[in-house]
Structure 1
């Protein structure tokens, strides 16, 4: 039987009598079953597309096709713990991406940057949810996911807010950050008060909150005798953890109160003892134990006078300018 006749047989008017054989009936049943299966497959495909559009389906993506968000929210940090977890248990939580607005066939991360980085290092495909998002929807999803996970430090959140400020109104930023306008203003004020290089040198400083960062900002504004960026970038401080580096910098910038007549320990920001300072109305005495601080003793003898003269010359130039 030709395909045309078969279709006529399927679509025949119910009032018109048609003679069919057992073979015809069997073939019609097979075609009807095939059509039902095809319809079911199409329904499943439509459902998958709908779920993808709604961001509910998780699919595997090649990490080479994925780019970071256009607004960075994290500072470089250690992901060894996350690497070990994914290596042992697999990726438990998918990342959220959107189709790249400018590059066909590529994607852009809304959240899950650390997971993506870990998956890339392991050479695996990443589990992801794809959702069509505007720029505003992306940064709101990015910010709210960070708030839910509570793994961004205060200074990372503040920097994220500053970067959002360059492109979005405050209403979008407060929604993304889940903060009110007053708190947003405080975050932006701290960022504006600190050199960008200083924040980079300190790092995320997890566990350090707003009051401590405000204290650092105040010290930086008041202290004209130290270069906070150079201090934080020093080999000694860079050997510390980010939190300890922050605390050491606070200690180094805080004005020291010397009680006259009583010796005070002179030490580095990391606690290395260099000597003792004794001050009176007429004298300032620095005593250095050459066994404990031979390098510092040599510095005092060989370099301190030259540094003093250089500093005095710089001060003269500033006054003349």
Structure 2
């Protein structure tokens, strides 16, 4: 048996379907059918992204060829965009700018839609379809009020997410958190881990990290931050780690992201502000302030330190001062929480 070619993942093979590569694959398959000789021992299949599933190399190639045939299926249709729904497994967050989308609409308006989108028949709604990939072209056609060219495929949920992965592998521009959300949504829909790994071309440890972040950070918080294309795995994991350890951290993040001025900033900036919000302030050094009467006489002192405030009042004033603080405390707390936005 010949060795697995170059350690390429199944999606890497999906991502480039040129004829020379197809011929090379066929040649490799023919070589596999030759009987092995003592001088050519059987090569081990590497434990890579898909190898971790313990399926044989021939099974992987069979699955790849089957899905490739589905994606490359010929014949297109023109469909009313109103009859099409988005993929049940969204893999995109809104862009910070609509400039690229507006340019796409202008191009389609002037030159027509060159490349069909891929859709499948809706599994439960008769006469409707779901996008496999090509969401932006579908949206553009909808905005322009024209029919969208589409290839209709027969795909199960698992095949749909792998087909989306084919497109994503070709583009390679999903941000890390978009990949995490894609994995989480597939998890929620009961997609097998094997197929999630195939759709994202990742291994088990990376899948565990994607899952961990989305299980810690609520979806509404992630969506409020946005794509954050310059923010990679380490900082998202760091944010999730602090939130998991500090119960108050998530509240600080939500408060930061509720500011309209923050929401108008690019998503990378929104992430930085969210990360800054979860960092605990440095411990305040211990300090003392003298309590003086209107005449300037020192009658006590108040000591401030991290998480601690202590009053010490002279015996002449202590009983009356204690009663005064007790009476004034409810109004003082109300003023404090109003200032903190919790009133």
- Partner residue, 1:199: 222
Alignment check: 8 A CA contact 1:144 1:178 kept: no
Range with bigger deviation, 70-79 or 155-164: 70-79
Deviations 1:210-230 (A, max 9, x none): 111011112223344451222
CA distance in 1, matches of 2:155, 2:201: 19
Range with bigger deviation, 76-85 or 125-134: 76-85
| RMSD of aligned residue pairs (Cα, Å) | 3.1
**Structure of larger gyration radius:** 1
Q: Could you say if the C-alpha distance between residues 90 and 81 of structure 1 is closer, same or farther in structure 2, counting changes exceeding 3 Å?
A: farther
- Partner residue, 1:161: 183
- Partner residue, 1:109: 131
Deviations 1:185-205 (A, max 9, x none): 110011111122211221222
Does 1:63 find its partner at 2:86?
Answer: no
CA distance in 2, matches of 1:87, 1:162: 34
**Gap runs ≥5 in structure 2:** 1-68, 287-302, 306-330
DSSP 3-state at the match of 1:82:
helix
- Partner residue, 1:182: 205
CA distance in 2, matches of 1:91, 1:246: 36
- Normalising by structure 2, we get a TM-score of 0.58
Alignment check: 8 A CA contact 1:158 1:188 kept: yes
- Partner residue, 2:262: 237
CA distance in 2, matches of 1:185, 1:134: 24
Q: Could you say if the C-alpha distance between residues 90 and 205 of structure 1 is closer, same or farther in structure 2, counting changes exceeding 3 Å?
A: farther
CA distance in 2, matches of 1:147, 1:233: 34
Deviations 1:50-108 (A, max 9, x none): x9996223332221221112222222344431222331354343211112233333221
- Partner residue, 1:151: 173
Q: Give the one of 84, 95, 99 matched to 1:80.
A: 99
Alignment check: 8 A CA contact 2:157 2:191 kept: no
Count of aligned positions: 225
- Normalising by structure 1, we get a TM-score of 0.62
- Segments of 4+ in structure 1 off by > 4 A? 51-54, 258-261
CA distance in 1, matches of 2:332, 2:200: 49
Q: Give the one of 276, 279, 284 matched to 1:251.
A: 276
DSSP 3-state at the match of 1:70:
coil
